[in-house]
Structure 1
Amino acid sequence: MSLNFKDGRSDLKRDSLMAEEQALPPSYSVQPPRQEAPEDLSARLARLDLRSSVKNGMNVSADQCTAHLKLLEAFNQLREDIGQIPGLFGIEDPIFENPETPDTHQHVQSPQALAKVRVAEKRWSVYVARAVARFEKWYSTCVPATMGGAPCNRLTGNQFCTVKGLDRVAYHGLPIKQLTLPDQLPPLDVLMVWHSYMLNPRCFFEDCFRYGKLDFFATALPWTAIDPYIDIVTFEFKPSVQAVENFETSTGLCWSNLNDGMEKTFSCPRCLSTISVPWTQGSLWTIANEMTPGNGFADGDFLAHCRVCDTKITHDYLRVLKFKADVQAFMSPSDTPLPGTLLNKDGQPGKLTVLGSPPESFFPNSLLNAGLSHRFLLLLDNPNVSMSDVRSIWEQGLTDKNLVHKAKGVRTRLLPKERLSIRRMMSRYWFNSSPFALDLAGAVIRQGSFVEKMHNIDWLHSPALKSTMERLVQKYQRFFTLMAENPGKVAVPTLDVDLAWHTHQLNPLEYYSYSDKMCYGKYIDHDDKIEETALSDAFTWTSKAYADKYGEPYSECTCWYCEAIRESHTSKLDRFFKPNKVQALEKLHGVEVPSDPLNSPHISAHNAVRDPESEAKQRVKAAELDKAYHKACAKAKKKGKPEPRRDDYFYYYAWGYPMYMPLYYPYGVPVVGGGGFYPADPCMVNTGAGSYGACAAGTCGGMAAAGGACGGGSGGCGGGCGGGGGCGGGGGCGGGGGGCGGGGGC
Structure 2
Amino acid sequence: MSKLLRRVSTTMSDRPPSYVSTDDPPPPLDPAPRALPDFPSTYQVGISRDVRFVGVGDVKSHLVLLGAFRRLRDEVEAGKGGPQAEGGVPLEPKARWAVFVQVAVYRFELLVRALEKSATELGTLTLPLDVALVLHSYLLNPLRYDEDCVRREATPWFGMPNGESLERVARSIDFETMTQRPPSPSDSRRWLKLTLHPYDPLDCFSTINGRQLLGFEEFKDHFVPWVTPEGAGYAQQGFRIEGPNGLTLTHEVLGVAKFVHDFATSVQSDTPVGGTVTSSISAPERTHNSRRAVWVRDRLMKHLQDVKTPLELGTRLGWSQEGLRKMLREALSGRERGVRNIASCYTRGEPFSLDLGSAVLRQGTFIDKMHDLGWTRPGRFDADDTLLQRCVARYHAFLDLMASSPSSFCVPTLDIDLAWHTHQLKPAYKLDTLLATARFVDHDDKVEEGALATGFDVTARAWKSRFGVPYSTCGCPLPSQPPLSRLSAKLGISASARDTFPTSILTTLVPSSEDSDATHPSAHNALVLPDHPQAQRKRAARAAEVDARRRRDDKARRKAGAGEMRDGLPPYEKRAEGLSTRPDAHAYAFLAPVALVPVYYGPMGYPASVGGCAATDGNHASSQTGAACSGGAGRCALFLNPVSFTRSLPR
The TM-score normalised by the length of structure 1 is 0.64
> What CA RMSD, in Å, does the superposition of the two structures yield over aligned residues?
4.5
Match of 1:446 among 362, 368, 384: 362
Are the aligned partners of 2:276 and 2:634 in contact in 1 as well (CA < 8 Å)?
no
Are the aligned partners of 2:395 and 2:420 in contact in 1 as well (CA < 8 Å)?
yes
Matching residue of 1:493: 412
CA-to-partner distance for each residue in 1:71-102, whole Å, 9 max, x for gaps?
Answer: 1010001111111224642148999xxxxxxx
Matching residue of 1:623: 544
Q: Are the structure 2 counterparts of residues 627 and 439 from structure 1 closer, same or farther at C-alpha, using a change threshold of 3 Å?
A: same
For structure 2, the 5+ residue unaligned runs are 1-29, 37-47, 486-494, 613-619, 636-651
Are the aligned partners of 2:144 and 2:633 in contact in 1 as well (CA < 8 Å)?
yes
- The residue type equivalent to 2:140 in the other structure is L
Are 1:323 and 2:259 matched, yes or no?
yes
CA-to-partner distance for each residue in 1:269-300, whole Å, 9 max, x for gaps?
Answer: 685562222101227xxxxxxxxxx2101100
Matching residue of 2:95: 122
**Aligned with 2:444: secondary structure?**
coil
Q: Are the structure 2 counterparts of residues 297 and 659 from structure 1 closer, same or farther at C-alpha, using a change threshold of 3 Å?
A: farther
Q: Are the structure 2 counterparts of residues 360 and 588 from structure 1 closer, same or farther at C-alpha, using a change threshold of 3 Å?
A: closer
**Aligned with 1:543: secondary structure?**
helix
Are the aligned partners of 1:267 and 1:273 in contact in 2 as well (CA < 8 Å)?
yes
**Aligned with 1:530: secondary structure?**
coil
Are the aligned partners of 1:121 and 1:672 in contact in 2 as well (CA < 8 Å)?
no
Matching residue of 2:272: 337
Are 1:605 and 2:523 matched, yes or no?
yes
Which runs of structure 2 are paired with 1:93-132 in the superposition (5 Å)?
119-132=92-105
Question: 264-273 or 251-260: which moved more?
Answer: 264-273
**Aligned with 1:300: secondary structure?**
coil
Matching residue of 2:616: none
Shift of 1:251: 2.0
Aligned equivalents of 1:456, 1:535: Cα separation in 2? 22
Are the aligned partners of 1:301 and 1:679 in contact in 2 as well (CA < 8 Å)?
no
- The residue type equivalent to 2:429 in the other structure is Y
Aligned equivalents of 2:424, 2:142: Cα separation in 1? 7
Matching residue of 1:299: 236
Which of structures 1 and 2 has the larger relative contact order (alpha carbons within 8 angstroms, sep 6+)? 2
CA-to-partner distance for each residue in 1:449-468, whole Å, 9 max, x for gaps?
Answer: 00111011012454665111
CA-to-partner distance for each residue in 1:101-120, whole Å, 9 max, x for gaps?
Answer: xxxxxxxxxxxxxxx9x921
Matching residue of 2:9: none
Match of 2:284 among 346, 349, 359: 349
CA-to-partner distance for each residue in 1:507-546, whole Å, 9 max, x for gaps?
Answer: 03x21121111122x1010011111111011111111222
Seq. identity, % = 27
Matching residue of 1:424: 341
CA-to-partner distance for each residue in 1:154-195, whole Å, 9 max, x for gaps?
Answer: xxxxxxxxxxxxxxxxxxxxxx7x54x3xx011000001011
Are the aligned partners of 1:311 and 1:383 in contact in 2 as well (CA < 8 Å)?
no
Matching residue of 1:484: 403
Q: Are the structure 2 counterparts of residues 55 and 91 from structure 1 closer, same or farther at C-alpha, using a change threshold of 3 Å?
A: farther
Aligned equivalents of 1:81, 1:505: Cα separation in 2? 27
**Aligned with 1:274: secondary structure?**
coil
Which runs of structure 2 are paired with 1:679-690 in the superposition (5 Å)?
683=610
Shift of 1:617: 2.1
CA-to-partner distance for each residue in 1:481-524, whole Å, 9 max, x for gaps?
Answer: 0111112342110010000000001003x21121111122x101
Aligned equivalents of 1:489, 1:634: Cα separation in 2? 39
Are the aligned partners of 1:483 and 1:489 in contact in 2 as well (CA < 8 Å)?
yes
Q: Are the structure 2 counterparts of residues 532 and 85 from structure 1 closer, same or farther at C-alpha, using a change threshold of 3 Å?
A: same
Shift of 1:682: 5.0
Are the aligned partners of 1:449 and 1:670 in contact in 2 as well (CA < 8 Å)?
no
**Aligned with 1:608: secondary structure?**
coil
Are the aligned partners of 2:341 and 2:632 in contact in 1 as well (CA < 8 Å)?
no
Match of 2:631 among 682, 698, 719: 719
Are the aligned partners of 2:539 and 2:592 in contact in 1 as well (CA < 8 Å)?
no
Matching residue of 2:322: 388
Shift of 1:469: 0.9
Question: 80-89 or 189-198: which moved more?
Answer: 80-89
Are 1:505 and 2:449 matched, yes or no?
no
Match of 1:226 among 126, 148, 169: 169
Q: Are the structure 2 counterparts of residues 435 and 228 from structure 1 closer, same or farther at C-alpha, using a change threshold of 3 Å?
A: closer
Shift of 1:253: 1.4
Q: Are the structure 2 counterparts of residues 483 and 280 from structure 1 closer, same or farther at C-alpha, using a change threshold of 3 Å?
A: same
Shift of 1:224: 5.0
Match of 1:142 among 115, 128, 141: 115
Are 1:186 and 2:127 matched, yes or no?
yes
Aligned equivalents of 2:623, 2:597: Cα separation in 1? 25
Aligned length: 548
Are the aligned partners of 1:423 and 1:704 in contact in 2 as well (CA < 8 Å)?
no
For structure 1, the 5+ residue unaligned runs are 1-26, 34-53, 96-115, 152-175, 284-293, 400-413, 572-577, 686-698, 709-717, 724-746
Match of 1:264 among 203, 207, 211: 211
Q: Are the structure 2 counterparts of residues 636 and 660 from structure 1 closer, same or farther at C-alpha, using a change threshold of 3 Å?
A: closer
Are the aligned partners of 2:464 and 2:470 in contact in 1 as well (CA < 8 Å)?
yes
Matching residue of 1:59: 53
Shift of 1:358: 6.8
Matching residue of 1:458: 374
The TM-score normalised by the length of structure 2 is 0.72
Are 1:515 and 2:418 matched, yes or no?
no
Are the aligned partners of 2:390 and 2:508 in contact in 1 as well (CA < 8 Å)?
no
Shift of 1:256: 2.4
Are 1:370 and 2:302 matched, yes or no?
yes
Aligned equivalents of 2:512, 2:160: Cα separation in 1? 43
Aligned equivalents of 2:214, 2:435: Cα separation in 1? 46
**Aligned with 2:50: secondary structure?**
coil
Matching residue of 2:455: 538
